[in-house]
Amino acid sequence: VSPLDIERVRADFPLLSRTVHGKPLIYFDNANTAQKPVSVIEAVDRHYREHNANVARAVHQLGEEATSAYESARDAIARFIHAPSRDEVILTSGTTQSINLVAYSYALPKLKAGDAILTTVMEHHANIVPWQLVAERTGATVKAAPIDANGELILEKYVEMLTPEVKLACVTHVSNVLGTVNPVREIARECRRRGIPLLVDGSQAVPHRPVDVQALGCDFYAITGHKMLGPTGTGALWAKREHLMAMPPFFGGGEMIREVRFEGTVFADPPHRFEAGTPNIAGFAGIPAAIGYLEGIGFDRLHATEQDLLAYALDALETVPGMRIFGRAKEREPVISFLIEGAHANDMATLLDLQGVAVRSGHHCAHPLMHFFGVPATLRASLAFYNTKAEVDGFIEAIAKVRKLLV
C-alpha cells in the first residue's frame, strides 16, 4: 500500500494544529477520544444549519431529512462492521450504553442464582460493572479470566472457565490500556461449541482494524463513535436478531412502541424497541463522514502507518532511563502504558501537558488490570494514524525534561 500523505491528513483535523501552553499540541490521548476531521465537523454543523428536526415522528420535509440522516448512520455502521442486517444495529450513546443494554435487556431477565458471567482481568469497567450490577440482582456471579505478564489473555484459561454455569461470555477486542488484541474468533468458536453467547467490547478495535462481526462469530458487538473520529454521544450495539427479538426493552418512552394502552403496551420491533426518546441526531449525522474518512484512508494503510509509529514509539521509550512498559502482546494496537521509576503518573502527565503533550494518567477505568500489575496508575500514550514520528520525538524530549524535574 502507498504511504499516507500525512500532511494532507493532518490538514483535515483542525484541532491538531493548535497550541497548548504555547507549545504545539502533541495529542497522544486517542484511546480516550479521537480528534475529528473537517468532514465530520461539517456534517454536524450542516445538520443543525439545514436539516434539524426530530426523527421518525414528523411527516414534514425536515423531519424526513433528519430521519434519513439518523438512519443513514445505522446503514453506515451496519456496513462498517458487516452486520447481516441494519435492523440488528441499535444506535446508542456509546459502548457503555450498548453493554448496559445487554446487561438489562438480555442478562437480567435470563440469569438466576448459580449462573455466571465470564469476563477478563483486562476489561474496561464498562465490561465489568454492568455485569456486577446484574449479578447482584440475580444471584449470579462474575468470573474473570486471567492474563499473563505480557498482558495477553490466557486463552486456555478463558476456555476452561466456559463452564455450564456461564450464561454469557464477554471480552474486549482490544485493551484500552495495553493495546492487546484478543483472539476473538477462537473465543467465539469455543463459546459456540458450548452454546454460550459472546459479547465483544469493540470500542478500541474499530478505530484501528476492519471488523466483520459475522466472521468473528460473536453474538453482541459494542462500539463507540467518538473513538473512531465520530461525534461524542454516539455508539452502537450489534446483536444477532434472535437475541434482539427475545429481549424486552431497557428504556421505555416514545418511538419504541407499536401501541400503548394502559392494559398493556406492544413494543416496536428491533432496532426501534431499544431506542426510546430523542437520540443524538446531530451526532449520528457525523457518523457516515467518520466511517467514510477511515475507509477513505483504508485499513491496510492505516494499520501499516500505525504499526510503524507504534514500533518507533516503543523503541524510543525504551531509551528513557527507568522506563517500565506494561504489556508486550505480540498483536497490539498503538496504545502504550508506562511508568518512569521515581515519577508519579499524574505529576508526569501534568508536566507533560505544560510541554503541549496530551497523555492520560490514572487507572484508565481498569482497576483490576492495575491491580494485576500492582500499580495504582500508569501513563498512557495512545496514537492514531494522524500522529507523526516527529511528535514521538517531541514526546520523548518532553519526557526527558519532565523526568529531570521529578526524578
By annotation, the residues acting in catalysis are: 365
What spatial distance separates the first Cα and last Cα of the chain, rounded to whole Å? 43
Task: Between 9 and 126, name the residue whose CB sits nearer to ligand PMP.
Answer: 126
Taking CB atoms within 8 Å and a gap of at least 24, the contacts of 12-19 are 12/37, 12/38, 12/39, 12/293, 13/37, 13/38, 13/386, 14/38, 14/41, 16/386, 19/356
- Please name the helix (run of DSSP H) or strand (run of DSSP E) that holds residue 308, with its range, or none: helix 299-318
Q: Give least dist CB 127 to ligand PMP, A.
A: 6
Torsion, Cα 203 225 208 201, to 10 degrees, reads 20
**How far apart are CB 222 and ligand PMP at their closest, in Å?**
7
In the bound complex, what is the minimum distance in angstroms from residue 172's beta carbon to ligand PMP?
5
Nearer to ligand PMP, 52 or 232 (CB): 232
Cis-peptide, bond into residue 271, ω within 30° of zero: yes
- The binding site for ligand PMP (CB under 6 A) comprises 94-96, 124, 126-127, 172, 176, 201, 203-204, 224, 235, 365
Which class for 292: exposed (0-12), middle (13-18), buried (19 or more C-beta within 10 A)?
Answer: middle
User: What's the CA gap between 385 and 388, in Å, rounded?
Assistant: 8
Nearer to ligand PMP, 67 or 175 (CB): 175
Contact 320, 398 (CB under 8 A): no
Q: Rounded to the nearest whole angstrom, what is the least distance from the CB of residue 159 to ligand PMP in the complex?
A: 22
Torsion of CA 203, 135, 185, 105, to 10 degrees: -70
Local structure of 242: helix, strand or coil: helix
Name the minimum Å distance from CB 265 to ligand PMP. Answer: 29
Q: Closest CB to ligand PMP among 105 and 224?
A: 224
Dist. CA 235–CA 109, nearest whole Å: 24
**Smaller CB separation from ligand PMP, 143 or 380:** 380
Please, what is the minimum distance in Å from the beta carbon of residue 227 to ligand PMP? 7
Residue 63 vs 233, nearer CB to ligand PMP: 233
Q: Report the C-alpha gap between 312 and 254 in whole angstroms.
A: 51
**Alpha carbon distance 115, 89 (integer Å):** 28
Cell numbers placing 297: 484512508
